[in-house]
């Protein structure tokens, strides 16, 4: 059960991503991303739709083959030199929404979000990430 960062570069990967049916929380259109954090054993995909500018939260999601299973908003704080293993990251997740269809998995999905953020590190740049702390809130069912 390990998340890894993957580039979305091949036609097969783009089709796999499109099959998740994720809608960007920013553009309200089908999301178009160049990378994701994937746990293939659990069949979970973590994506950051963007955000973070001007004090706004980042819009995050976990999906499985059937689509969105967790929607979150979080703030990222980084400290340290931008060099290999120099940045300490703190993610503060302030909102977690889980669809009713995934309610039975809520606890596992929140754990998976934390796991994914630890791999994602400093906005997807694992090379500069020294450490990652994740603060979570309780999820709400929608």
Tell me: the pLDDT tens digits for 66-90? 999 999 999 999 999 999 999 999 9
- Residue 110: is it exposed, middle or buried by C-beta count within 10 angstroms (0-12/13-18/19+)? buried
Average pLDDT over residues 27-52: 91
Average pLDDT over residues 40-64: 93
Quick one: pLDDT at residue 1? 56
- Angstrom CA distances, 136 to 73, 94, 112, 126, stand at 10, 7, 12, 21
Quick one: pLDDT at residue 27? 86
Distance CA 106, CA 112 (A): 10
The structure tokens 């997807």 sit at: 124
The number of domains in the chain is 1
Write down the mean pLDDT value for the chain. Answer: 93
Q: Does position 17 have pLDDT exceeding 70, yes or no? A: yes
Domain with 67 in it: 4-141
CB 55 within 8 A of CB 46: no
**pTM, 2 dp:** 0.92
Q: Per-residue pLDDT tens for 122-142? A: 988 889 999 999 999 999 999
Q: Chain centroid to CA 63: how far? A: 9
CB 93 within 8 A of CB 85: no
Q: Does position 34 have pLDDT exceeding 90, yes or no? A: no
């Amino acid at each position: 059960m390990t998340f890894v960062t993957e580039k979305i570069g091949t036609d097969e990967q783009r089709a796999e991503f499109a099959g998740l049916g994720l809608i960007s929380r920013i553009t309200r259109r089908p999301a178009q991303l160049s990378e994701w954090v994937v746990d293939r054993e659990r069949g979970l995909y973590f994506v950051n739709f963007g955000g973070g500018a001007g004090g706004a939260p980042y819009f995050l999601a976990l999906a499985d083959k059937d689509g969105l299973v967790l929607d979150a908003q979080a703030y990222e704080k980084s400290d340290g030199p931008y060099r290999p293993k120099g940045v300490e990251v703190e993610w503060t997740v302030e909102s977690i929404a889980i669809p009713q269809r995934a309610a039975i998995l809520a606890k596992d999905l929140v754990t998976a979000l934390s796991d994914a953020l630890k791999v994602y590190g400093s906005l997807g740049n694992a090379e500069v990430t020294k450490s990652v702390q994740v603060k979570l809130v309780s999820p709400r069912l929608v």
